[in-house]
């Protein structure tokens, strides 16, 4: 029988609620973005994020139920992000979900935010286990083999900044608005990726670990050198810096993806597929580089539609559906956790 799950997500700067049916229908997915509140500070301010979640979460839940045309009493379970994330936000989601579950008497499932991202390709594409996943966002960067709803093998990831964070810091260094990724991509389209010789960190090291903070430092050094020589950056300088930076990130991700695919094929030769999710998956150059590597290796490439790649609550509801289907209680006992590796 089809069941309806209410999902709640508040681990970073998106206040989100969604209703998803166990037959993969997304009945609603409401995302209230807080970026306007954080814009003046050049990044997400945890205290402001927590306050905004507390004020907006119940409205998001009401809107998600209304859009789905479903009453709270018709919901069969509630899934909430229990971590990892900014603790104030995670706590407000968990508290609200606990109250709603107690009031209605339905099961409450504490979901790992990263598992939500990693399971989304099964909501949108009905992808069979196991598959390879690259999660690239503002806060995360890792290669995972997804074996089941609660079974993830981590192949490697960033040892410092996530790529989205590096895009955001690059944008800040060049006076572009936040979040920086789309602005850097737009500038890069007008630039020469070969003018600057930016490093490809850790490419020489075996395995799937990556590093992006040195790349950002190299970009700042070039910026300072140009400013010292010409007392300012031209439009073309900025475009060339963005293009060089983006090409370096794309190459590192693609080459490490090739290694991750080899490691995954060694354990799982049947119907191989790689999925990518997270905000950075929106970047055309990075997507194209990953698609080329996948094609060369004979592995199917898939990416959920962008609104389901970035933070949302439909992915949390879906992860709840997957866990309930295998009789998994989710995080037990359910507490808000700032850190929660898969």
Find out whether 90 is annotated in a ligand binding site. no
Count the site residues for ligand KG4 by CB under 6 A.
19
Q: Segment contacting ligand KG4 (CB under 6 A): 65-73, 88-96, 177-185, 290-298? A: 177-185
12 binds ligand KG4 (CB under 6 A): yes
Partner touching 167 among Zn ion, ligand KG4, none, CB below 5 to 8 Å by kind: ligand KG4
Partner touching 320 among ligand KG4, Zn ion, none, CB below 5 to 8 Å by kind: none
Considering only 88, 139, 156, 330, the residue that binds ligand KG4 (CB under 6 A) is 139
185 binds ligand KG4 (CB under 6 A): yes
By beta-carbon proximity to ligand KG4, the closer residue of 76 and 168 is: 168
Find out whether 181 is annotated in a ligand binding site. yes
Site string for Zn ion, 126-155 (x = CB under 5 A): -----------x------------------
182 binds ligand KG4 (CB under 6 A): yes
Q: Segment contacting Zn ion (CB under 5 A): 104-112, 186-194, 303-311, 326-334? A: 303-311
311 binds Zn ion (CB under 5 A): yes
Task: Report CA torsion sign: 106, 121, 178, 42.
Answer: positive
Site string for ligand KG4, 244-283 (x = CB under 6 A): ----------------------------------xxx-xx
Partner touching 179 among Zn ion, ligand KG4, none, CB below 5 to 8 Å by kind: ligand KG4
Token pair 């590093």 in the structure block, residue: 211
List residues near ligand KG4 by CB under 6 A.
Answer: 12, 137-139, 164, 167-168, 179-182, 185, 278-280, 282-283, 310-311
List residues near Zn ion by CB under 5 A.
Answer: 137, 311
């Amino acid at each position: 029988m089809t069941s309806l799950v209410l999902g709640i997500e508040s681990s970073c700067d998106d206040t989100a609620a969604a209703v998803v049916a166990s037959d993969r229908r997304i009945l609603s997915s409401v995302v209230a973005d807080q970026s306007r509140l954080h814009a003046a500070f050049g990044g997400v301010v945890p205290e402001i994020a927590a306050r905004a979640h507390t004020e907006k979460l119940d409205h998001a839940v009401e809107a998600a139920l209304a859009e789905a045309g479903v009453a709270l009493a018709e919901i069969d379970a509630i899934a909430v992000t229990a971590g990892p994330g900014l603790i104030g936000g995670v706590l407000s989601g968990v508290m609200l979900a606990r109250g709603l579950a107690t009031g209605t008497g339905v099961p409450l499932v504490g979901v790992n935010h990263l598992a939500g991202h990693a399971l989304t390709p099964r909501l949108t594409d009905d992808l069979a286990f196991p598959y390879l996943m690259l999660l690239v966002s503002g806060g995360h960067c890792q290669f995972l083999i997804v074996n089941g709803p609660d079974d993830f093998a981590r192949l490697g990831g960033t040892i410092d900044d996530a790529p989205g964070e590096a895009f955001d810091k690059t944008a800040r260094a060049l006076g572009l608005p936040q979040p920086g990724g789309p602005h850097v991509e737009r500038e890069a389209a007008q630039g020469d990726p070969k003018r600057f010789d930016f490093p490809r960190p850790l490419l020489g090291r075996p395995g799937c670990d990556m590093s992006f903070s040195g790349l950002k430092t190299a970009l700042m050094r070039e910026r300072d050198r140009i400013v010292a020589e010409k007392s300012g950056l031209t439009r073309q300088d900025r475009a060339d810096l963005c293009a060089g930076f983006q090409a370096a990130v794309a190459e590192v991700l693609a080459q490490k993806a090739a290694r991750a695919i080899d490691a995954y094929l060694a354990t799982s030769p049947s119907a191989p597929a790689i999925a990518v999710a997270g905000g950075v998956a929106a970047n055309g150059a990075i997507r194209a580089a990953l698609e080329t590597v996948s094609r060369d290796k004979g592995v199917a490439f898939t990416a959920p539609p962008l609104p389901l790649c970035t933070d949302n609550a439909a992915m949390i509801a879906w992860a709840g559906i997957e866990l309930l289907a295998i009789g998994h209680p989710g995080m037990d006992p359910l507490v808000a956790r700032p850190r929660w590796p898969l």
